[in-house]
Amino acid sequence: MNESGTTSRAEARGLRQSREIEGHLAWLDSFTGTALGVLAVASGIYTYLGVSSLLDDTGALSIFAAMAYSIAVSVGIFVFWSYMLRLLPAVRSAASRIGLLASMGLGSLAIVAMSSWLNAAALAGAAAVEQHLATTVQDYQGALERANTIAVSAQGLGRDVSRVRTSFEDLGEQEASGGLSGLAGRGAVFRLLRQKSDELSALEAQIASQQPLLDAAFAEGNAILSRMRALTVAPGPVEARSVEFSEEAVRLAGVITTLRQLSVAPLVVRAASDLSASVVLPQLDGGDDAARSGQRATIESVLTVLGQRADTLRQAAEAVIAMPPPADTTYTPISAADAVILYARNFVPSWAGAIAIDLLPAVLVLIVSVAQAAIRTGRDGVAVEDQMTLAELRGALIALREIEAATPAEKSQEPNATAAPTPVDIARPAE
């Protein structure tokens, strides 16, 4: 078969495909408007629920305001996608398509901004608020454990104080037997050693007295944390639970502050400074100059050791003070919409559903655009008379006969033309 015959068959095939697609589009168009309306109404309902969660007042005016907003959203979504379904598939130039695609993108962003996030709040708002409560509990638990760790580390300084005190007591016992200054008894050196050991003993007792308070505060904090965890997963409206959760959070913040105040590290730093700085030297009671000189030399040695032990104790206390403090944790109640945005990564399915219900018509727009492009492709290069179906041709013939039949009648109804003047016979002159 020649090239013209092959081309004719290809054109006929494309024309048949175009007519088939047109038939499908005509059938689909019969309920597309209804489908758009259902999607718009569904989005409006969830938008109403999302707006209601943002309004504090529950009166008639708030209900009316939420309904007005949701109706406006539904109408806007329906009108916008109706425009896109009609106009975008119909345009042919590249500039027009780009312009309408940009308009569709801008409109989609507007729909997400005014509706989708509220739909997500309605779908996952309560769960997002519970997620916020659970995250806050974790933050408070970390702060409580950190404050307790610092306080326990400060309590560990009691062992360092005890070790220094024991060393001075041992030196005192040696001095009592004459092992230091060479003078047995409870002389000036012994009294100096006893003075410092008594100071350290008082500091050790003060540190030990903080332990019951520390244990009680930590136990109370854990009890509050248990109640807060129970409120996170308890049944019932999350708003009421949030109020009780806030009260427990305030109590727990007070417990954490108490634990920070129970740390004895600053006290140990001050005591270590006083240990070497505030020394009351006893009167030398040696019997002769040699004895008093020995006592003086021993006291200087004791003071040197005292300064070294004080520095070691102060450094240990400063290391505790230098530990990173617990993070400042404050529970801030948030709305369901804010919680959905704050914890968006934890509710991806809800966000996907909320956006899909608003932007699903965009897929329909693209489908219709592709179908219309296929129709135009099938019709390109085919003459108009070749595109006519048998029914269209029959209708054209009938219309043509009606026009031809009406033509003589129209001519008969036209006014008679002006008669031509009758020629006048002019008599010939007589011969």
46-87 residue pLDDT tens: 888 888 877 766 677 888 888 899 999 999 999 999 999 888
Identity at 18, one-letter amino acid code: S
9 confidence band (pLDDT: 50, 70, 90): low
pLDDT at residue number 336:
83
- Which H helix or E strand runs over 1? none
Cβ atoms within 10 A of the Cβ of 131, count? 18
Higher pLDDT: 318 or 385? It is 318
Q: What is the distance between the alpha carbons of residues 6 and 90, in angstroms, rounded to a whole number?
A: 30
- Classify the phi-psi angles of 151: left when phi > 0, otherwise alpha if psi is within -120 to 50, otherwise beta: alpha
Residue 94 CB-half CA count within 13 A = 0
The full 3-state SS of 126-142, as one line of letters, equals HHHHHHHHHHHHHHHHH
Q: Which two tokens stand for residue 126?
A: 């309560």
Predicted confidence (pLDDT) per residue in 403-413, tens digit = 877 776 555 55
User: Which of the residue ranges 17-26, 174-183, 327-336, 372-381 would you say has the lowest mean pLDDT?
Assistant: 174-183
**Among 85, 108, 83, residue whose Cα is nearest residue 32:** 85
Q: Mean pLDDT across the stretch 328-352? A: 85
Q: Cα angle at 39 between 36 and 45, to 5 degrees?
A: 140
H helices within 234-286, ranges in order? 238-261, 265-277
Predicted confidence (pLDDT) per residue in 415-424, tens digit = 554 444 544 4
User: Which of the residue ranges 18-27, 32-41, 75-84, 232-241 would you say has the lowest mean pLDDT?
Assistant: 18-27
Residue 278, pLDDT > 80, answer: no
Q: Cα angle at 223 between 221 and 225, to 5 degrees?
A: 70
Predicted confidence (pLDDT) per residue in 140-163, tens digit = 999 999 999 999 888 888 888 888
pLDDT at residue number 138:
92
What is the signed CA dihedral for 404, 409, 411, 413, rounded to 10 degrees? -160
Q: What percent of the chain has pLDDT over 90?
A: 20
Predicted confidence (pLDDT) per residue in 165-213, tens digit = 777 676 666 666 655 554 555 556 666 667 777 777 888 888 888 889 9
Q: Chain-centre distance of CA 149, in angstroms?
A: 31
Q: What is the distance between the alpha carbons of residues 22 and 88, in angstroms, rounded to a whole number?
A: 16
**Backbone phi, psi, residue 259, to 5°:** -60, -40
Q: Which residues of 231-259 are buried (b: 16+ CB within 10 A; e: fewer)?
A: bbeeeeebeebbeebbebbeebbebbebb
Residue 309: CB partners within 8 Å, gap ≥ 6? Answer: 164, 167, 275
Q: What is the distance between the alpha carbons of residues 147 and 258, in angstroms, rounded to a whole number?
A: 9
pLDDT at residue number 75:
93
Residue 61: CB partners within 8 Å, gap ≥ 6? Answer: none
Higher pLDDT: 105 or 281? It is 105
Can you list the domains of the chain with their CATH numbers?
Answer: 3-126+346-390 (no CATH), 127-334 (1.20.1260)
User: Which of the residue ranges 77-91, 320-334, 357-371, 396-410 would you say has the lowest mean pLDDT?
Assistant: 396-410
Identity at 145, one-letter amino acid code: E
3-class secondary structure, 334: coil
Q: Which two tokens stand for residue 149?
A: 């760790």
pLDDT at residue number 426:
38
Round the average pLDDT of the chain to a whole number and report it: 78
Q: Which span out of 158-167, 169-178, 274-283, 295-304 was modeled with the highest average pLDDT?
A: 158-167
- Output the pTM of the full model: 0.67
